[in-house]
Amino acid sequence: MISMPDHFTYDELSRDFSWSIAEKELEYKPGDRINIGWYCSDRICLKGHAEKTALHYEGFGGVEKKYTFNDIRLAGNTIGTFLRGLGINDGDRVCLFMDRIPELYLSFLGILKIGAIVQPLFSAFGDESLFVRLENAQTRAVITQKKHLPKVRKIRSQLPHLEYVIIVDGVKASDLEKGEVLFSLEKSEPVENLDIHPTTAESPSVLHYTSGTTGQPKGVKHVHYSLISQYLTTKWVLDLRNEDIYWCTADPGWVTGTSYGIIGPWSLGITQCVLDSGFSAQAWYKFIEKHRVTVWYSAPTAIRSLMKAGDEIVKSFDLSSLRHLASVGEPLNSEAVIWSERVFGKPFLDTFWQTETGSIMITNFPGMKVKPGSMGKTFPGIRGTVLDPVTYAPISEHGRAGLIAFQPGWPAMMRTYWNNPEKYRDKFVNGWYLSGDRASIDNEGYYWFIGRDDDVINTGGHLVSPFEVESALLEHPAVGESAVTSKPDEINMEVVKAFITLKPGFAQSPDLELDIMNFIRKKLSPLAMPQAVEFMEKLPKTRSGKIMRRVLHAKEWGEEIGDISTLEND
Residues in touch with ligand PRX (CB under 6 A): 210, 254-256, 328-332, 350-355, 375, 435-437, 449, 452, 458, 463
Provide, rounded to whole angstroms, the least separation between the CB of residue 354 and ligand PRX. Answer: 4
Residue with Cβ nearer ligand PRX (331 or 540): 331
- Residue (of 425, 384, 388, 413) closest to 403 by Cα position: 388
Residue with Cβ nearer ligand PRX (332 or 529): 332
In sequence order, the 6+-apart residues with CB closer than 8 A to the CB of 460 are: 299, 301, 330, 491, 492, 493, 527
Residue with Cβ nearer ligand PRX (44 or 362): 362
Q: How far apart are the C-alpha atoms of 122 and 130, rounded to whole Å?
A: 9
Rg (alpha carbons) of the chain, rounded to whole number: 24
Residue with Cβ nearer ligand PRX (143 or 375): 375
Residue with Cβ nearer ligand PRX (154 or 371): 371
Quick one: the chain helix, strand, coil %, rounded to 5?
30, 25, 45
Q: How far apart are the C-alpha atoms of 220 and 367, rounded to whole Å?
A: 33
Residue with Cβ nearer ligand PRX (168 or 414): 414
What does the DSSP 8-state code read for residue 201? T
At 118 the three-state DSSP class reads strand
Provide, rounded to whole angstroms, the least separation between the CB of residue 375 and ligand PRX. Answer: 5
Provide, rounded to whole angstroms, the least separation between the CB of residue 489 and ligand PRX. Answer: 15
Provide, rounded to whole angstroms, the least separation between the CB of residue 36 and ligand PRX. Answer: 18
Provide, rounded to whole angstroms, the least separation between the CB of residue 251 and ligand PRX. Answer: 11
Provide, rounded to whole angstroms, the least separation between the CB of residue 263 and ligand PRX. Answer: 13
Provide, rounded to whole angstroms, the least separation between the CB of residue 545 and ligand PRX. Answer: 30
Q: How far apart are the C-alpha atoms of 67 and 97, rounded to whole Å?
A: 21
* DSSP string across 56-95: EEE-GGG-EEEEEHHHHHHHHHHHHHHHHHHT--TT-EEE
Provide, rounded to whole angstroms, the least separation between the CB of residue 372 and ligand PRX. Answer: 13
Residue with Cβ nearer ligand PRX (355 or 482): 355
Residue nearest to ligand PRX (CB): 355
Do 250 and 280 touch, CB atoms closer than 8 A? no
Strands 64-68, 93-97: pairing kind: unpaired
Residue with Cβ nearer ligand PRX (155 or 307): 307
At 220 the three-state DSSP class reads strand
